[in-house]
Structure 1
């Protein structure tokens, strides 16, 4: 898209040069300095060739080149006061480059959007007014000059806006195509896994339950892995980062839901919202690790038959909450304090420490015979929840 826009600017520049050449050839006999008029045309032709070649290379599309482009256009406009007679300027004869100068406005609009396009138009508008100041014909500045100035501003504003919209639409289309390709690949892998791995795990679970003993334990583990794998392949892939997202210094966002649903099993139920819950990538992985540590505690301290429930909530106002609840025997009020005093820092470091480092809070509610609930709250992705 961007390459096509630059080619369009180059074509306009060449065509506008041809139009200016026709006018200069037709009006040269009435110039105060005809030779100077041809010299200005030579400068315009040379700059057209140089700029077309320079803008072709993306690495050369710098602010310095854009400034030089506007400066050359303004210089050609100002040369009108030296080449033309004051009488012709007073009667509204167009400047020497006529519409050729709009190419520099279009180039600035394509490169920098509305603001840069309008800034370039303002410089060329000032040059048009200065021509009349130098020729002492400000009072005779007519509709031709004013119309040209208005058209320059409209070109910078409208083209800059349309270019930004077009580039954004192109980026969105690329993201949609990437997401569709990722979805198709996930579906292909899901079919292959379903036809092989999942069927084997299901058979191991069923046969292990029939045989009993140690085989039953293997069957239970196979069942948990089957459930986790089904949850993983059934989760939609995360969307690619938005092109307008900040780069350099700010971590990209990751949907927290797939990281948590991957922890589901026959004894762990994970519930998440229908829409994405974005967090900075590092924060999302730390939260998932804290949840995994909590579930590991359930398996170690609550017995093989214990169940756990993970609930993800996004309040939409700047906070994300994950709660892990189990139906185990619960804990005495001072259990965690005694564990920390004995040097067992699993909860203190693996859960509280991770969430604290993210600027969040952890609340643990438990009582003997009533299970345990751990509620972890972390700040949402920057910029969410604000108008």
Structure 2
């Protein structure tokens, strides 16, 4: 960003210097017809001095604040008004340009670079008012010609267009910096993945294999090593674009201004040798609070599988991204539940499903459907509408 800003301010300085040369030519050509010729040369002196001062001052980023911008605009405003005293009323009525001519546009450009199109248009309006005051002071308001109006319009367009271009350029540079950052992160991830694959993953795979062959307590150790291997493979296999959304990510329309987080990596992080997680290839963004609550509900459902279905049970997590809602289902191949089991658990104070799963999803404006039967496993389907989520969190 510093490189872009420096280039923009250099461009303003170059324009200011070239416009000064043009103003000097115009003043030198018209000075013989001025009511106060010395006044014209005095204005040229002010323009020259301020061109040098502004060029040096704008080089320092710490000085590009309101005092310098206000002084820049005040100098341009005063030099325009000086035209009413230096020029004759007849020349002003005939449409002769103001003393600084196009030099004053440098102030508009400076404001546009500093604050975008809004400040650029504001500066243009102030200097446009100065042009109108010249005619009012000289008593030629009724004879204001197209030259003055054209100058005011050009100032307005300069502030608007340059301010918009500057904003777009800064956004493009920010996106480029983000792309470079992601590329560097991808390369680092790939480097770490190669080293992990060549060392840690191979050791875990060997422990899993040898533990299964040895049996007994070693088999349990092998099972744990296998789960860690699967989780680590999922972690290093996730691309850089599947992580949580950056803190500076813009809110989506209708989110109430909350930052978004990709739900997919929050779920894939819970994968293991006994848990398979399937997500779309593209990110599934949700408001950060909602995404973490859904992930916590899934974690609670998987914890129930581990507690009640035994060590050999498997679970499958499926994430579906619909146009207006997000659906997550957790299915296991455990023994299932008899009818009324959840109601009995809630009545006896065991509120894992009622609070950790249903309560979380309900607070997000979603619904939970649980289908289970003895010997057929259990499936928990959680559906969260995007718009309801945004309005509730």
1:335 aligns with 2:341: yes
**2: CA distance, partners of 1:108 / 1:54:** 14
1:310 aligns with 2:310: no
Superposed counterparts of 1:364-383, under 5 Å: 364-380=370-386
**2: CA distance, partners of 1:97 / 1:347:** 77
Match of 1:265 among 272, 276, 281: 272
Whether the 8 Å contact between 2:193 and 2:236 is mirrored in structure 1 is yes
Residue deviations 1:5-57 (CA, integer Å, cap 9, x gap): 12211222233233323433443333212333334334434443443344334
- Alignment correspondent of 1:274: 281
1:206 aligns with 2:206: no
**1: CA distance, partners of 2:342 / 2:60:** 64
1:78 aligns with 2:85: no
**2: CA distance, partners of 1:370 / 1:84:** 97
Summarize the Cα distance change of 1:193–1:380 in structure 2 as closer, same or farther, 3 Å threshold: farther
- Alignment correspondent of 2:361: 355
Which runs of 5 or more residues in structure 1 are unaligned? none
**1: CA distance, partners of 2:153 / 2:389:** 38
Superposed counterparts of 1:209-228, under 5 Å: 209-228=212-231
Whether the 8 Å contact between 1:13 and 1:103 is mirrored in structure 2 is yes
- 1:330 aligned counterpart, secondary structure: coil
- CA shift, 1:235, in A, is 0.7
- CA shift, 1:309, in A, is 1.0
Residue deviations 1:152-196 (CA, integer Å, cap 9, x gap): 223122212221221111111101101111111111111111111
Summarize the Cα distance change of 1:208–1:242 in structure 2 as closer, same or farther, 3 Å threshold: closer
Residue deviations 1:319-371 (CA, integer Å, cap 9, x gap): 32211111212223332232233332322333234334444433323232332
1:137 aligns with 2:140: yes
Residue deviations 1:251-296 (CA, integer Å, cap 9, x gap): 5322221221121222211110111112233433332222122111
- Alignment correspondent of 1:41: 44
**2: CA distance, partners of 1:328 / 1:168:** 52
Which runs of 5 or more residues in structure 2 are unaligned? none
- Alignment correspondent of 2:124: 121
Whether the 8 Å contact between 1:121 and 1:156 is mirrored in structure 2 is yes
Whether the 8 Å contact between 2:290 and 2:389 is mirrored in structure 1 is no
Normalising to structure 1: TM-score of the pair? Answer: 0.88
Match of 1:345 among 344, 351, 369: 351
1:298 aligns with 2:305: yes
- Alignment correspondent of 2:32: 29
**2: CA distance, partners of 1:348 / 1:63:** 58
Single out whichever of 52-61 and 188-197 deviates more from structure 2.
52-61
CA RMSD of aligned residues (A): 2.7
- Alignment correspondent of 1:241: 246
**1: CA distance, partners of 2:283 / 2:319:** 11
Summarize the Cα distance change of 1:197–1:381 in structure 2 as closer, same or farther, 3 Å threshold: farther
**1: CA distance, partners of 2:318 / 2:206:** 30
Whether the 8 Å contact between 1:171 and 1:243 is mirrored in structure 2 is no
Aligned residue-pair number: 381
Normalising to structure 2: TM-score of the pair? Answer: 0.87
Single out whichever of 337-346 and 297-306 deviates more from structure 2.
337-346
- CA shift, 1:297, in A, is 0.9
Single out whichever of 139-148 and 75-84 deviates more from structure 2.
139-148
- Alignment correspondent of 1:173: 176
Summarize the Cα distance change of 1:2–1:28 in structure 2 as closer, same or farther, 3 Å threshold: same
**2: CA distance, partners of 1:219 / 1:82:** 94
Single out whichever of 232-241 and 167-176 deviates more from structure 2.
232-241
